[in-house]
Structure 1
């Protein structure tokens, strides 16, 4: 006979109560609620089974504290593997646990789930050994091994709400969050003196990166035809940032689609093909258009068969995309109406508000971009022509940057930071799979924005006749700022900050990183 002794989440309940966190099952004198999930464990030989979890309702304001306390107890399963809607784990009725007793949530409580040693019972049931002994759920083997939490460190998790419908919180270490906040601070610089810092909202970049880390299928849209007197009318801000995000998302295993205006389809196809040819992209990206052919066209575009229970995308991202103002028109910063050059892609963001499971993100640098409706009152009162040009369509998250491309670069860098964050990876993978492999780390480093890659993308846009915003120059500049030294220096800073958060790079990884 071989004996396996597994940790138990009961071990940390005393520490939760010492911190003032209510433990509802203890308050009610009940066994904890235990559920079989739809999350498969990694099989080992004949052993295979779904993950089993315990659930404890925790007041929303205490989620970070609960995560930090339990994170310090890895022998008792560590931090939560899920916080929020139980349906995301395949649990559809909290009142009917598979083991233990139902425990009621109080007003303001959030369901929090931890891995459970009862998983072993499921493994025994599935492997069907001729003889096995196990504990009864809630009646564990007690040892004389002292409860010795790990010392606190900057790997301790912070908890963020990333989606209301379905309800989803995410975890990331203090180190990772601090690094993304540094990235957010850098991209908020305003060398063009456009006043964008007045629109800044703390942690929009953090929440956007966390949300995208949980994504499966992402649609990205860009395109601002500010130069209406030229062909093409688009500017050089937007497409580079869109490609930078797409590159990282694809490497992380996400599906990526780009949504564009019909008039700009060929230009974007040429841009993507050149990016693949030069190695900026490893593979092509599907390009689609949306022209709004009827009242339900946005719903049918976003969802299979127009069914809001079957969304094609779980995230929509707009970067430097013309945004519809309150009067239904689309304005550049000078107040020129560009509606005749813009397809109604805003309708997708409006429709997404009523479709559970779709999160929206807007990236802008002036307040007239799609998604900036979230901060439209600030735009109206603080930006030139704000009362006219302010975008009226909100996104769940609005990232502001001195140049919108920088916001795209920062999202790509932030996703990398999360990909090497043990606290986030533990949560993202539900504690069932190994963290980022060295090979994947190599590939992710190669997918970060670099001066060489972004200079290549900008060169392609210039060859396609795309002009700088602000000045209209057909030159290596974005928003009137020359690529060297302004943009190249900022990209180097973002890359340096990002790689500073990583383990020591080996020679192969160092070879892939170009800072100049």
Structure 2
């Protein structure tokens, strides 16, 4: 019996021969033949092969196809010399009609059946371990001398014919300071699953307990470690079980086929992926390309100018636009509030600074097929209904946005509004956005810019934002009217980012191509001009001057607001 010492440096063909002779005292191939590609194995009847290949291409994150054999071919010449798939994995599993009916050291006794079967060799995350270690990142399962942890998730793969299942992932603990290095080290190794598909709270993948993996061994996290999840080839095992083929074989999870191919150390041009924390509770990080992040930071800089000398630069937090838009990109449901009744002597008292930006965000969220609603003052419901109806007629919105109101009736009113039946584990919204909205002062009143108390005109919607801070899973953002335009443009940039798109869809399914619908949803000078004219007709006034002219907050629409919209669009689309 050969012990594990020195196996890391063995050449793959030597390691395969040792495995073939059953002379290894190891239970998995993690850390073996460092720097060489390893492969998951799926062996199916030839009648299922074409559909399984399509299934792999449709879910190439977990199932990167390295090689497909001909029926009865036990070799894979493009991956290895002197190999025999019947003997060269540490352990195999046999499946009959979807049930695992045995673990085997060799498939030689099934040689006759294998003549009508096709072998699929699929990429494995063990292949990137050397690259991760070179980046100064510990491989905890290797340190702890155990198999990697593998978990079934709640994420459905793209189905093809009889092949369907949820994504399976591997988890590797990574020190928080090394998260970006881990993403950079793996993102270009697409045949080894590429970049992570989730970083942070396992519950967001439907994983309830990290100490109870579905495959492999539990791996202990060190203080400061973050759970990082990669797509896993054991997804193919789940698909094999669900297809209920009369006979099928796979490798035993963790017991890979070791190829003769080295990993290519490829680095993307123009800067690699960036990692950003978008929520602390639950802990959640997102990934975006350096190029997209730079565009969004430029959008933030553009809206930071202060032509009215209002001191807004002191309200801006660098990087907040990117963080907020990443959170919105992951959100399924977004709640927007706007409406500042600053003109208390007029009817309606609302100013026109806020609604245009709010509708710009709503239009983009609709195009991204997210749920979006607007909450406003009860007394302003009819006005906002008219504004939304006009926005649909003008082509700004695809469909009406639901209008909600909020009143404080009890101590838990905000919780009841934000969560189903007041259950903080079931929030109705993932993200809240306030645009040009009054907040309560220390004395319990609400004031306009001239320090006039307008409490009688304002519903306590700001309570929702305070309550949201105590509810896991809800993030919040406060922006200006221009910030609303910038958010719409930034969400478009994220949609066009291949790196972010892959992370959003967990590397299953197909990449999203930028659609005409999204281009249509972007704000434009023409649309915003029509909307401002509508607001004027409805008696909604400029904030600073109370003028019913083509201006917002005392600044002319033409050559100020229109120019800002043009600059934002140019940056988002170039």
Q: 1:429 aligns with which of 480, 505, 513?
A: 505
Contact residue 201 and residue 284 of structure 2 kept, 8 A: yes
- Partners of 2:450 and 2:161 lie apart in 1 by 66
Q: Which moved more, 1:349-358 or 1:148-157?
A: 148-157
**Could you tell me how far 1:200 is from its partner in structure 2?**
2.3
Matched residue, 1:177 = 293
Matched residue, 1:460 = 534
Q: Deviation digits for residues 349-390 of structure 1, max 9, x if unmatched?
A: 111122111111111xxxxxxxxxxxxxxxxxxxxxxxxxxx
Matched residue, 1:193 = 309
- Partners of 1:154 and 1:426 lie apart in 2 by 18
Whichever of the two has the greater Rg, that structure is 2
The question of 1:23 aligning with 2:147 is answered: no
- Partners of 2:267 and 2:228 lie apart in 1 by 23
The question of 1:489 aligning with 2:573 is answered: no
1:245-324 alignment runs, 5 A limit:
245-324=361-440
Contact residue 496 and residue 513 of structure 2 kept, 8 A: no
Does the residue aligned with 1:466 lie in a helix, a strand or coil?
coil
The question of 1:419 aligning with 2:495 is answered: yes
- Partners of 1:159 and 1:310 lie apart in 2 by 27
Q: 2:521 aligns with which of 409, 422, 447?
A: 447
The question of 1:164 aligning with 2:238 is answered: no
List, as ranges, runs of 4+ consecutive aligned residues in structure 1 with deviation greater than 4 Å.
none
Matched residue, 1:408 = 484
Q: 2:543 aligns with which of 469, 472, 477?
A: 469
The question of 1:327 aligning with 2:443 is answered: yes
- Partners of 1:353 and 1:286 lie apart in 2 by 24
Does the residue aligned with 1:249 lie in a helix, a strand or coil?
helix
The question of 1:228 aligning with 2:344 is answered: yes
- Partners of 2:267 and 2:462 lie apart in 1 by 49
- Partners of 2:234 and 2:282 lie apart in 1 by 27
Contact residue 154 and residue 173 of structure 1 kept, 8 A: no
Does the residue aligned with 2:172 lie in a helix, a strand or coil?
strand
The question of 1:122 aligning with 2:238 is answered: yes
Contact residue 174 and residue 228 of structure 2 kept, 8 A: yes
Aligned residues: 458
TM-score by length of 1: 0.87
- Partners of 2:442 and 2:327 lie apart in 1 by 28
Does the residue aligned with 2:174 lie in a helix, a strand or coil?
strand
Contact residue 418 and residue 464 of structure 2 kept, 8 A: yes
- Partners of 1:66 and 1:153 lie apart in 2 by 17
The question of 1:132 aligning with 2:233 is answered: no
The question of 1:82 aligning with 2:158 is answered: no
Name structure 2 gaps, 5 residues minimum.
Answer: 1-116
**Could you tell me how far 1:155 is from its partner in structure 2?**
6.2
Q: Deviation digits for residues 106-133 of structure 1, max 9, x if unmatched?
A: 1111100000111111111111222222
1:338-349 alignment runs, 5 A limit:
338-349=454-465
Q: 2:323 aligns with which of 207, 214, 217?
A: 207
- Partners of 1:426 and 1:297 lie apart in 2 by 38
1:41-80 alignment runs, 5 A limit:
41-80=157-196
Q: RMSD of aligned C-alpha atoms?
A: 1.1
Contact residue 155 and residue 423 of structure 1 kept, 8 A: no
- Partners of 2:333 and 2:466 lie apart in 1 by 18
**Could you tell me how far 1:473 is from its partner in structure 2?**
1.0
**Could you tell me how far 1:295 is from its partner in structure 2?**
1.4
- Partners of 1:467 and 1:348 lie apart in 2 by 27
Q: Could you say if the C-alpha distance between residues 344 and 499 of structure 1 is closer, same or farther in structure 2, counting changes exceeding 3 Å? A: same
Matched residue, 1:396 = none
Q: Deviation digits for residues 89-146 of structure 1, max 9, x if unmatched?
A: 1110100111111001111111000001111111111112222221121121111112
Matched residue, 2:258 = 142
Q: Which moved more, 1:333-342 or 1:30-39?
A: 333-342
Q: Deviation digits for residues 56-103 of structure 1, max 9, x if unmatched?
A: 011111111111111021110000001111111111010011111100
Contact residue 48 and residue 126 of structure 1 kept, 8 A: yes
- Partners of 2:347 and 2:270 lie apart in 1 by 51
Does the residue aligned with 2:267 lie in a helix, a strand or coil?
coil
Q: Deviation digits for residues 217-275 of structure 1, max 9, x if unmatched?
A: 11100011111121111111100000000000011111111100011111100100011
Matched residue, 2:153 = 37
The question of 1:12 aligning with 2:86 is answered: no
- Partners of 1:53 and 1:4 lie apart in 2 by 19
- Partners of 1:137 and 1:454 lie apart in 2 by 56
Does the residue aligned with 1:133 lie in a helix, a strand or coil?
strand
- Partners of 2:124 and 2:442 lie apart in 1 by 55
**Could you tell me how far 1:149 is from its partner in structure 2?**
3.1
